[in-house]
Amino acid sequence: MITPIPLMRLVSGVWGFKTLAVGVEFGLFTRLAGGRSITVAEAADEFGLDERPADLLLAASASLGLLERAGDGYRNSELAEQFLVEGRPYYFGAQVRYSDLRTYLPWHRVGEALRTNRPLTWDPQTQQSMFDTTDPDMVAQFWDAMVSTSSFTARALADVYDFGAHTRLLDVGGGAGAFPVEFCRRLPDLRATIFDLPHVCAKAEQQIAAAGLTGRIGTVGGDFLAEPALPGGHDVILLSMILHDWDEPTNRALLAKCHAALPSGGAVVVCELLLNDERTGPSDAALMGMNMLIETEGGRNYSRAEYADWLVDAGFVDVRTAWFDAPGANGAVVARRP
């Protein structure tokens, strides 16, 4: 018998996210690092809460798989211990904070975005892009969020695509460098270049230095949309979580630049949350497409078939898709320049 239970779960979905977000805000999971447990009374004392809200927070966090019972108290689940403790290599709290502070409230006005076909997190009439802002904290939050999402996604991509078959990687729109850092840690013979806006390259250089990879990963400052050509000398080009930001003509133009920049036999890797060919899911990809309505002027999430068609039209051959499961992408459409 059909029931409204699936609809109620959609209604309550935001409650789960906000419970996660407030746990990150309070530093709950970082305080419990290393196996420490906490009782309701101890949580009330540490966070300056009454007993009732402390109890509700711990119980709700446990129900979401973020905490688990430990005697009379609660401790981090394996998920929280690995990804929600500040300072851990794949700390995901930055993504939670960014979503909570930057995109959550605009989502309340999604009907406005649908009616106007305009982003809600920035104003195209007064700003050149979402990064054109006087709020440096927001920009810092964005890049921290991208590192936390991209690092684990890069690991998943490297498990299904052999970047060791290449010697020089160009990461177009590579941001803070999470993908090249992960790849170069795994592959000692790989060299990489990040091509992004100059102020983004400065952030990437900090991350590269912190990883001890300054001699193997370089940066080139520029606008990959405005520049007539991409930097040459690379045998694989990565476009990870880039093409969903733009409309089809822009993406076709960028793929044409990739084709021109690669040698014969060179590969392009388009890493994204891919819709199925019927455009009915998966929900992660479809809902990210809705988020592009909130955040961009022309972005949307595309299907594997759409990317394949564009690649063939750009002159690429041997198009295939490698599937995986990660927070920032579920697959990569790969093609070769003949």
Contacts of 292 (CB under 8 A, 6+ apart): 244, 245, 299, 300, 301
Is 244 known to be catalytic? yes
**Residue 130 predicted with pLDDT over 70:** no
Cα–Cα distance for residue pair 329/271, rounded to 1 Å: 6
Q: What is the CATH number of domain 5-83?
A: 1.10.10.10
pLDDT digit string (tens) for 296-313? 999 999 999 999 999 999
What local confidence, expressed as pLDDT, does residue 129 receive? 67
Taking the CA atoms of 131, 133, 136 and 142 in sequence, report the sign of the dihedral they define.
negative
Spot the catalytic one: 108, 166, 199, 244: 244
Residue 136's pLDDT band, with cuts at 50, 70 and 90, is: low
Question: How far is CA 321 from each of CA 70, 191, 306, 307, 324, rounded to the nearest angstrom?
Answer: 44, 24, 12, 10, 10
Residue 97 has pLDDT above 70, yes or no: yes
Q: Which residues, listed in sequence order, are joined to residue 172 by a DSSP beta bridge? A: 195
The architecture CATH gives domain 93-336: 3-Layer(aba) Sandwich (3.40)
Whether the CB-CB separation of 118 and 297 falls below 8 Å is answered with yes
Show the tokens assigned to 18.
Answer: 């906000």
* Of 262, 277, 245, residue with least CA distance to 317: 262
Distance CA 139, CA 256 (A): 30
pLDDT in tens, 191-207: 999 999 998 999 899 99
Asked if residue 147 has pLDDT above 90, the reply is no
Helix, strand, coil content of the chain in percent (nearest 5): 50, 15, 35
Name the segment(s) of the chain with CATH classification 1.10.10.10: 5-83
Per DSSP, 121 falls in state S
Q: Which residues in the chain are classed under CATH 3.40.50.150?
A: 93-336
Query: Could you tell me which residues are beta bridge partners of residue 230?
Result: none
| Mean pLDDT score, 36-61 | 98
**Segment (H or E) for 208:** helix 198-210
pLDDT number for residue 142 = 74
- Provide the pLDDT confidence category of residue 132 given band limits of 50, 70 and 90: low
Q: What is the pLDDT of residues 158-190, one digit of tens each?
A: 999 999 999 999 999 999 999 999 999 999 999
- Write the DSSP assignment of 242-261 as a string of letters: -GGGS-HHHHHHHHHHHHHH
Confirm if 130 and 188 have CB atoms less than 8 A apart. Answer: no
